[in-house]
Structure 1
Amino acid sequence: MINRRHMLSLLGGAATLTAVPRASGAFEYETRITDPAELEYERWSAERRLPKNPRVVDLEAMGRQLGKKGGRLRTLIGGQRDVRMMPINSYSRLVGYDTKLQLQPDILASYDVEDDRIFTFHLREGHRWSDGSPFTSEDFRYCWEDVIQNRDLLRGGPPADLKVDGEVAKFEVLDALTVRYSWSSPAPAFLPQLASPVPLVLALPGAYLRRFHARYQTPEKLGDLIVKYRVDDWQSLHTKVSRQNRPENPDLPTLEAWRPRTAPPAEQFVFERNAYFHRVDTAGVQLPYINHWVLNVASTEIITAKTATGESDLQSLGISFPDYTLLRHAQKIYPQKVSLWTRTQGSSVALMPNLNCSDPVWRGLFQDVRMRRALSLAIDRAEINKVIFYGLARESANTILPESPLFKPEYATAWSYHDPDQANALLDEVGLAKRDRYGTRLLPDGRTAGIMVETAGESTLETDVLELITDHFREVGLPLYIRTSQRDIFRSRALGGEIMMSVAQGLDNGVATSEMSPNELAPTSDAQLQWPLWGLHHMSAENGGTAPDLPAAQELLGLLKKWRQTTHSDQRLAIWTKMLEIHADQVFSIGTINGTKQPLVKASRLRNIPEDALFGFEPTSYLGAYMPDTFWYEGEG
């Protein structure tokens, strides 16, 4: 294939090099195609790189415009680990959600589902990885046989997401473009797991990875690679070079819209458009439109200031609603615009009483529903909404949002109104009736009933809300103290039962449908700070943590198991409804407000970004469901 730069030189005046001014005062140069011959070359070249049946994105049907290729998009990140945001936002998936949260084939050409048990995947003929190697069923076979089934790489065997009632999926290669996964029982969570922000990995670029695998590589060569990559063994080597969800290996082929060009450590990470990406617009132009996406590392404390001075072309993470006034003012000075999207969390800030706390007195109190209800009733959510969100948020328990088809008003209002008298009565009932001379409640063993709430210290919003809640709790005789620790230490303290209460966001997915898994509503993960040991017990296949001993938590796990065995939508709806009712009644986590607004700052000439949309990790994958590969720059400067 003719090199593009060589082609430009052959065309002579067919293209120009245009200086594009940036806010910093510097100039960056972009190639502008000015000759029909070059445009024709682009089409010819794209046809050779595309699958025979690419995914056609109908921008007009989405209310957007056909764009043009080119440009360099800058985003600020708070640290090197945030490179993981690229595959989340790029959102290239076997199947994925559209803006209406309906599943559709993406990387796959199509899929067939029989009885929610048998899933047949059809690949696109001629689809290639970013290095040009073919993407076929062999990449699924490599992932299944050489990684998932390899106990040297996965000592625990296939992940839980590939098991139904303990049964591992049956995997079959039907032909070069067709694979099948099947179980003897229904697996309704299988497709949603593939569409998640951090998806279940079923395919790996085998042509590249074989050189790092003991089955295909000589011990001598593996030894050289182990030294080169500074790891201890071939298993660590393979894991390091194969991470798709952490794009730190520029040599790893990808199916995402942009491929990494920078390896850590670095202060700037450059991602280059994938020349073999499988999507096109209705005019036949290959996506993504934008050539380079650049992530610049900045301290989290100054991301807002840098964004406000025009150092980011597209920013959503690292800024929050309290920054809105500053960002609105900045758009009068710099060529940028601020939009407000709706956050999808069940609560923007929630208190998580640790039901697995190692202190037996506090553990007993937190496992008493009256204590959790009392804490919730003590909070003045109207004040939080007015003081911090100018009344623009919704006062609510930690539950789903009105944007979800599952929503009922009683989920939001259950035990979430401000009633200090009822809170005081409940606190008296649970054994906290005694007070010292200052009015502070005392534990049954005589200690002061002070609550230490811990945070990873990464959100000024959490701190602002906690300051108000401190006053609310003081009114019912409960001192609240705030402790900040690093995230790694914070997580280990939670698993060790050392954390009494923590502050975090509420449900990740507040806009769920009944077809999505209700995992979040049951103890399924050690990241669930209200019951980390119960969650660990589930996620470790009962090899770690402790089993739930609270009947309501046990019931939630039972309902989740039933949902995973369903085959009909009405069954799933009934189970979701019951689980949401239990959560509303039991107040396992204490929500404050939801439906809050998330500022999104974009360069004023950046197009195809919705003015109003949902913003959250799950199910929209932040920007992912809105297809950043369709974003483009209008104009020359």
Structure 2
Amino acid sequence: MAQLQGLTRRSLLYGSAVAAGGAALAACSSGNGGAGSGSGTGSSGEPSAPTGKGSEVKPLPKPAKYSEAPALAEQVKAGKLPAVEERLPENPYVVPHRWLVPGNYGGVLQMVQGKSESSAVKEYMYGGSPLRFLNDGLDIGPGLVETWESNADASEWTFNFRKGLKWSDGKPWTTESIMYWWEDLVQNEDHPFTPPDDVRSGKNTVAKLTCPDDTTMVLTFDAPAPITPERIAAWVNQYAETGTLGPLWMLPKHYVQQFHPKYNTAIKAGSDWFSNHDLKSDFQRNPDCPTMTGWRGKAYREAQSLTLERNPFYWVVDKDGKQLPYIDEVNFSVVKDEQVQKLNMTQGKYDYIHGGHHPIVLGDVSTFKQAEAKTGVRLRFWDSGSGTGSMLFFNYDHPDAKLRALFRNNKFQKALSHAVNRAEIRKAIYYDTGEATTGTLSVKGVIFNINDEGKKLYEEWRDLAVKYDVALAKSMLDEIGVVDKNGDGKREHPDGSPLKISLDFQADTGSENLRKNEFLKRDWEAIGLDVQMSPSPPEAWGDRWKNSEFQTTTTWEIGDNQILVYPGWVIPVEPSHWAPMHGQAFILQTGDPKKIESEANIDPWKRTPRWILPEEGSPIAKLYDFYAQARVESDAMKRNQLLWEIVKVHINEGPFMLGFVSNYPRTVLVRDGLKNVPMKENLALGGFVNPWIQPSPAVYDPEAYFWEKPEEHA
């Protein structure tokens, strides 16, 4: 449900998460719900990531022999493909998840997407990522990169890619593909790509990226960059044409260079050549484009369907040496109407529906349970990982000075939080699941699962102003002078002027947000506030919020779990969250500091774009300070403690965002006979599907799913 409108890698300046990096590790959740944690060491000797539970598990050994799908074996026999040993790298990635069992080859997986360019499809495949999250984000493991290490202060990172990797067309993969992305796109002023946060130091400056040979990449920073591996593992990487799912990192130069003016003189430089280039670079929309994912493009029909087929050169195997994927093809039908999607699901037209990529809500559970016997498609539940459920931001930078003063007053926000009957929201919208919360990052966050101190800090944040207490809410408003001065039954500003609270939202938002807003309106009117529902056209919503035009935004949800990978929820580093003008200033300080100087004497709300710097000693100034320290702190535990200080600012001077019900369940539909789909109890933290930075289900390797009877799914 997390809203991504308007977010791009160009606009997001993240940071990155906990841990100094290390050599290859492969440890994943056990079949009994316990967790195994892996560790590799860099020059600092620190583990690759702090883990909340589990013991060290070493990488799975290279299988003694390899095997392949019968269809590929036939092509080898006919001389159309090299032998499987020649198609795999010297050391393939061995999927480490302990719930996996050896599978059967064959069959087709029928799935659905909501629109033809749905990013949800990309969330199913982690194959193009240099590194990977494991154990529900508690660890980092190898991907295309086999080993990695840093120098003592984490200012230089060396990544060693697997030798013998091949693109899906059989052409050798080399670091030339990285340099093409870096030199010909990111550093090309004609192309919209900009250096991603993955290559920024703790001072937010861009690293020097070099590739001294075909399998080595070196990132040299001007300051410590200790959380570089977390940044690289985040998102799915390699195939997001808009950048919202991570940087590309690499492209098949041997194919895509024909669409670049540097390599094709028939293309005019300085034009919008990159539109066609980027279209042709998307292996889903252009099946001719090679990929590193387990399934490659086969057929694309605009607004109708997308078919993917097995990549014969996929560089991943199971522990027995069987090359993945097991399933021959994956077919995504495009169904834009959510109600039609649901109808098709209840009729059993799709085999697998995962997490946040479908319209099923908890109110639909009874219908789907009743359909199970007929369809053979079973309903499962995973944790959402949400820290808020449908939430609300007050605009910390609202142009009206009186409203701004209230929205920055933590007693005002606490009063409104105490006025909300979360038990009723939890019952009506989330069917008595999840837990009431003031609003936090995900309970699955690494910093909350390191030790008891982290868990207690999470609970303190969750319970900050969660109690339903109308009398307390009224007294807090009275205390700050928000009282009914003219006797009309509505509270006014402290100066007696009218006060109206606007619940702003996109007109096409879903029922979950609308119903939550109805509860807020009712409960806040009950304590004497004048509250109105304010739908707005969705097309311009993102730009208008960044320009600080709304009082609130009420359709977001926090699912992310690592502050330094995605800090925007808690630290204003970009303009899409609770302090949009501070976020805009943060970006300008890095990208256009002269603008900051030239507009210093202009009213902040008359600047273009609108921006404002934090006042000394303000909560945002404190957040920026702790954030800056954490980004360059190479000691993992000290870094975690700095992240705890960020949380404490929210506890002591917030809330800056209001949540209502956290970690409610999300539904997963799985057809009988589809194996190796993990159960909730298989996963280190119970699994969670809402965060995009830990791409789900990609992190669980759907390439290892298989049909018990593939002949029935031809």
TM-score by length of 2: 0.77
- Which among 253, 267, 278 is matched to residue 304 of structure 2? 267
- Which among 648, 662, 678 is matched to residue 610 of structure 1? 678
Q: Which has the higher strand share?
A: 1
C-alpha contact 1:454 1:499 (8 A) present in aligned 2: no
AA in 1 matched with 2:147: S
**1:536 maps to which residue?**
584
Q: Distance in 2 between matches of 1:77 and 1:238?
A: 24
Measured after TM superposition, the shift of residue 187 of structure 1 is 0.8
- Which among 143, 159, 162 is matched to residue 124 of structure 1? 162
Measured after TM superposition, the shift of residue 630 of structure 1 is 0.9
C-alpha contact 1:121 1:180 (8 A) present in aligned 2: yes
AA in 1 matched with 2:516: V
- Which among 95, 106, 117 is matched to residue 131 of structure 2? 95
Percent identity, please: 24
1:546 paired with 2:595, answer no
Deviations 1:386-437 (A, max 9, x none): 2333322111121145444133211110011111112112222333212665
C-alpha contact 1:113 1:119 (8 A) present in aligned 2: yes
Q: Distance in 2 between matches of 1:564 and 1:401?
A: 20
Q: Distance in 1 between matches of 2:507 and 2:231?
A: 28
Measured after TM superposition, the shift of residue 565 of structure 1 is 0.8
C-alpha contact 2:353 2:668 (8 A) present in aligned 1: yes
Of the structure 1 ranges 539-548 and 606-615, higher mean CA displacement relative to structure 2 is found in: 539-548
Q: Distance in 2 between matches of 1:454 and 1:472?
A: 18
Of the structure 1 ranges 542-551 and 72-81, higher mean CA displacement relative to structure 2 is found in: 542-551
1:154–1:384 Cα change, 3 Å: closer
C-alpha contact 1:351 1:502 (8 A) present in aligned 2: yes
Q: Distance in 1 between matches of 2:341 and 2:487?
A: 46
Of the structure 1 ranges 557-566 and 138-147, higher mean CA displacement relative to structure 2 is found in: 138-147
**1:76 maps to which residue?**
112
Q: Distance in 2 between matches of 1:515 and 1:350?
A: 21
- Which among 452, 457, 471 is matched to residue 421 of structure 1? 471
Q: Distance in 1 between matches of 2:391 and 2:689?
A: 18
**1:172 maps to which residue?**
210
Task: Please give the secondary structure, in 2, of the residue aligned with 1:97.
Answer: strand
Measured after TM superposition, the shift of residue 268 of structure 1 is 1.1
Task: Please give the secondary structure, in 1, of the residue aligned with 2:144.
Answer: coil
Deviations 1:263-316 (A, max 9, x none): 463311222222221101122221111222222222123322221221221113
Task: Please give the secondary structure, in 2, of the residue aligned with 1:151.
Answer: coil
Measured after TM superposition, the shift of residue 503 of structure 1 is 1.2
C-alpha contact 1:290 1:632 (8 A) present in aligned 2: yes
**1:575 maps to which residue?**
642
Of the structure 1 ranges 397-406 and 268-277, higher mean CA displacement relative to structure 2 is found in: 397-406
AA in 2 matched with 1:203: M
1:319 paired with 2:363, answer no
AA in 2 matched with 1:53: N
The correspondence of residues 134-533 of structure 1 with structure 2, limited to 5 A, is 134-154=172-192, 158-164=195-201, 165-197=203-235, 198-218=245-265, 221-222=266-267, 232-242=271-281, 247-263=284-300, 265-298=302-335, 299-316=337-354, 317=357, 318-404=359-445, 405=449, 406-408=454-456, 409-434=459-484, 439-443=489-493, 444=495, 446-455=497-506, 457-510=508-561, 512=562, 518-528=567-577, 530-533=578-581
C-alpha contact 1:339 1:601 (8 A) present in aligned 2: yes
1:81–1:538 Cα change, 3 Å: farther
1:199–1:192 Cα change, 3 Å: farther
1:113 paired with 2:113, answer no
AA in 2 matched with 1:610: P
Measured after TM superposition, the shift of residue 547 of structure 1 is 3.0
Measured after TM superposition, the shift of residue 516 of structure 1 is 5.3
C-alpha contact 1:97 1:619 (8 A) present in aligned 2: no
Structure 1 residue runs without a partner (length 5+)? 1-31
Deviations 1:45-98 (A, max 9, x none): 433322121111245xx122111222222222222231x222222122100101
1:605–1:160 Cα change, 3 Å: closer
Measured after TM superposition, the shift of residue 122 of structure 1 is 1.1
Task: Please give the secondary structure, in 2, of the residue aligned with 1:207.
Answer: helix
Measured after TM superposition, the shift of residue 545 of structure 1 is 4.2
Measured after TM superposition, the shift of residue 515 of structure 1 is 7.7
Of the structure 1 ranges 274-283 and 247-256, higher mean CA displacement relative to structure 2 is found in: 247-256
**2:656 maps to which residue?**
588
1:34–1:412 Cα change, 3 Å: closer
1:311–1:535 Cα change, 3 Å: farther
AA in 1 matched with 2:585: H
Aligned length: 589
C-alpha contact 2:441 2:559 (8 A) present in aligned 1: no
Q: Distance in 2 between matches of 1:272 and 1:145?
A: 31
**2:239 maps to which residue?**
none
Of the structure 1 ranges 160-169 and 492-501, higher mean CA displacement relative to structure 2 is found in: 160-169
Q: Distance in 2 between matches of 1:183 and 1:37?
A: 46
C-alpha contact 1:455 1:482 (8 A) present in aligned 2: no
Task: Please give the secondary structure, in 2, of the residue aligned with 1:261.
Answer: strand
AA in 2 matched with 1:182: T
Task: Please give the secondary structure, in 2, of the residue aligned with 1:385.
Answer: helix
Q: Distance in 2 between matches of 1:449 and 1:268?
A: 47
Task: Please give the secondary structure, in 2, of the residue aligned with 1:140.
Answer: helix
C-alpha contact 2:198 2:232 (8 A) present in aligned 1: no
Measured after TM superposition, the shift of residue 145 of structure 1 is 2.0
Measured after TM superposition, the shift of residue 522 of structure 1 is 0.4
Deviations 1:575-605 (A, max 9, x none): 1111111122311100101010001111111
Q: Distance in 1 between matches of 2:637 and 2:566?
A: 14
Task: Please give the secondary structure, in 1, of the residue aligned with 2:559.
Answer: coil
Structure 2 residue runs without a partner (length 5+)? 1-67, 236-244, 593-608, 681-686
AA in 1 matched with 2:401: P
Measured after TM superposition, the shift of residue 243 of structure 1 is 5.2
Measured after TM superposition, the shift of residue 518 of structure 1 is 4.3
Q: Distance in 2 between matches of 1:167 and 1:542?
A: 10
Q: Distance in 2 between matches of 1:39 and 1:241?
A: 27
AA in 2 matched with 1:581: K
1:341–1:277 Cα change, 3 Å: same
AA in 2 matched with 1:421: A
1:284–1:456 Cα change, 3 Å: farther
Q: Distance in 2 between matches of 1:488 and 1:465?
A: 22
Q: Distance in 2 between matches of 1:583 and 1:455?
A: 27
1:112–1:599 Cα change, 3 Å: same
Deviations 1:485-519 (A, max 9, x none): 45332212212322211113433314x4x885645
Task: Please give the secondary structure, in 2, of the residue aligned with 1:425.
Answer: helix
TM-score by length of 1: 0.86
C-alpha contact 1:270 1:295 (8 A) present in aligned 2: yes
AA in 1 matched with 2:374: I
Task: Please give the secondary structure, in 2, of the residue aligned with 1:153.
Answer: coil
AA in 2 matched with 1:538: F
C-alpha contact 1:187 1:565 (8 A) present in aligned 2: yes
C-alpha contact 1:163 1:169 (8 A) present in aligned 2: yes
Of the structure 1 ranges 438-447 and 125-134, higher mean CA displacement relative to structure 2 is found in: 438-447
Q: Distance in 1 between matches of 2:196 and 2:699?
A: 26
Q: Distance in 2 between matches of 1:387 and 1:88?
A: 30
Q: Distance in 2 between matches of 1:35 and 1:610?
A: 27
1:50 paired with 2:50, answer no
Task: Please give the secondary structure, in 2, of the residue aligned with 1:53.
Answer: coil
Q: Distance in 1 between matches of 2:82 and 2:184?
A: 37
Measured after TM superposition, the shift of residue 524 of structure 1 is 1.5
Deviations 1:246-274 (A, max 9, x none): x4333332212222334463311222222
